[in-house]
Amino acid sequence: MTMRQLSATILTKATAAAVAIVVLGGGANAQAPSLLMKPPNDELPNPYRTLRDWAELPKGMTWPAVTGALEGSDGRLYVLGRCHENSCAGRTEPAVLIYDQAGKLLNSWGVGIFQFPHGFWIDKEDNVYITDAQTDGIKGNQVFKFSNDGKLLLTIGKGGKPVDAADSFDQPTAVLVTLKGDIFVGEGHAPTYGKSRILKFDKNGKFIKVIMKKGRMPGDLMGPHNMAIDSQGRIFVADRGNNRIVIMDQEGKYLDEWRQFGRPSGMFITKDDTLYVADSESWGPDEPGWKKGIRIGSARTGVVNSFIVDLESTTEDHSGAEAVGVDSKGNVYGGVVRRKMLEKHVPTY
pLDDT digits (tens, 9 = 90+) for 186-203: 999 999 999 999 999 999
pLDDT bin (cut points 50, 70, 90) of residue 228 is: very high
What is the average pLDDT across 5-10?
35
- From 11-15, 121-125, 344-348, the region with the lowest mean pLDDT: 11-15
pLDDT of residue 166: 83
- From 117-126, 205-214, 313-322, the region with the lowest mean pLDDT: 313-322
- From 37-46, 105-114, 278-287, 313-322, the region with the lowest mean pLDDT: 37-46
pLDDT of 12 strictly over 90: no
pLDDT of residue 254: 97
pLDDT digits (tens, 9 = 90+) for 19-78: 333 333 334 444 444 444 567 889 999 999 999 999 999 999 999 999 999 999 999 999
Average pLDDT, the chain: 90
pLDDT of residue 35: 42
- SS3 for 115-172, per residue? CCEEEEEECCCCCEEEEEEEECCCCEEEEEEECCCCCEEEEECCCCCCCCCCCCCCCE
Three-state SS at 107: strand
pLDDT of residue 38: 65
Confirm if 77 and 83 have CB atoms less than 8 A apart.
no
pLDDT digits (tens, 9 = 90+) for 240-264: 999 999 999 999 999 999 999 999 9
pLDDT of 15 strictly over 80: no
Domains of the chain: 49-262+322-347 (2.120.10.30)
What is the average pLDDT across 220-247?
98
Confirm if 175 and 183 have CB atoms less than 8 A apart.
yes
Three-state SS at 103: coil
Task: Please tell me the distance from the alpha carbon of residue 333 to that of residue 79, in angstroms, as a whole number.
Answer: 10
Among 180, 174, 179, residue whose Cα is nearest residue 211: 174
pLDDT of 180 strictly over 70: yes
pLDDT of residue 34: 46
**CA 143 to each of CA 102, 122, 191, 217, 268: distance values in angstroms, whole numbers, following the listed order:** 30, 13, 21, 28, 20
| Sign of the CA dihedral with 318 first, then 346, 260, and 310 last | negative
Percent over 90 (pLDDT), the chain = 85
pLDDT bin (cut points 50, 70, 90) of residue 160 is: very high
Task: Please tell me the distance from the alpha carbon of residue 13 to that of residue 277, in angstroms, as a whole number.
Answer: 27
Within 10 angstroms of residue 152's Cβ, the number of other Cβ atoms is 11
Percent over 70 (pLDDT), the chain = 89
What is the average pLDDT across 79-96?
97
pLDDT of residue 40: 84
pLDDT of residue 306: 97
pLDDT of 16 strictly over 70: no
Confidence (pTM): 0.90
pLDDT of 234 strictly over 60: yes
**CA 127 to each of CA 67, 190, 327: distance values in angstroms, whole numbers, following the listed order:** 17, 28, 17
pLDDT bin (cut points 50, 70, 90) of residue 13 is: very low
